[in-house]
Amino acid sequence: MSILIRPQDVSQKRLLLPGFLLLPVTFAAFYFLPQLLGKTAGYLASFVLYWGWCIVHGLVLKKDDMAKRYSWPPRTGINILWAVLCFLPVIGAFTAAFLVAYPFLSPALYLMLALAALTNGFVEEFYWRGAYTSRYGQNKLYAFVLPTLLFGLWHISVYAAYGISYQGGFLPLVGGAFFMGLIWGYTAFRQQRILIPTLAHILTNFFAFSNLIVENWIR
């Protein structure tokens, strides 16, 4: 098993650049687009830009067939443990956000939450966990450490969204992203699969987005 494999040629190094460029681009988008297009349209447009970037770069970055990464991992004790850990953020989002927001939710908002959670959870796991592990396999630096760091840092862009408030402020949003990235990223790296992190991510988003919508658009 390779402990550290540094990309040697220019093309390999260039494959990493979009992940770094994503940070300033999305920071500018989330800060300026809500001012130019209005809070709702600007916020949505910023996410569409982010999702599109993740999909395009993910398709370029991935090296093998991604279908196998959506299969269940072997049912060993350690894999079951990591699966349980992956769902800890779901419990946190349910108790801290959804239990506060659910009295204000309507059927239309539940549908909106489901669509947003499915889209964001699937796209982010495909990119931050799936594409990086597909390209770099057992290389811990590039398959786990780097995408985990970038995943946490990109949430600074979300925090910078103009006119949007977040429950608890900066630390729960960005710190929570680093915590979730560590669990989901290590699980994907260890198992070389992203099915469990994807399911956990979608559920976490569903519960977390509920209070985001209520606090910024309903109350």
Question: Where are the domains positioned within the chain?
Answer: 10-218
Mean per-residue pLDDT for 182-208?
Answer: 97
Q: Which long-range contacts (CB under 8 A, 24 or more apart) does 166-169 make?
A: 166/212, 167/96, 167/97, 167/100, 167/211, 167/212, 167/215, 168/96
**Residue 7 pLDDT > 80:** no
The predicted pLDDT at position 10 comes to 55
Q: How many CB atoms lie within 10 A of CB 117?
A: 20
The tens digit of pLDDT for each residue in 103-113 reads 999 999 999 99
| Backbone dihedral angles phi then psi of residue 41, each to the nearest 5 degrees | -65, -40
Q: Is the pLDDT of residue 5 over 90?
A: no
Q: What one-character DSSP code corresponds to residue 125?
A: I
Averaged over 191-208, what is the pLDDT?
97
Please tell me what DSSP assigns to residue 73: P
pLDDT score for 3 = 45
Asked if 26 contacts 156 with a C-beta cutoff of 8 angstroms, the reply is no
In DSSP notation, 24-58 reads HHHHHHHHHHHHHH-HHHHHHHHHHHHHHHHHHHH
pTM for the model: 0.93
Digit-coded pLDDT (tens) for 48-92: 999 999 999 999 999 988 999 999 999 999 999 999 999 999 999
Residue 14's pLDDT band (boundaries 50, 70, 90)? confident
Q: What is the pLDDT of residues 22-31, one digit of tens each?
A: 999 999 999 9
pLDDT higher than threshold 70 for residue 202: yes
Burial class (CB in 10 A: 0-12, 13-18, 19+), 55: middle
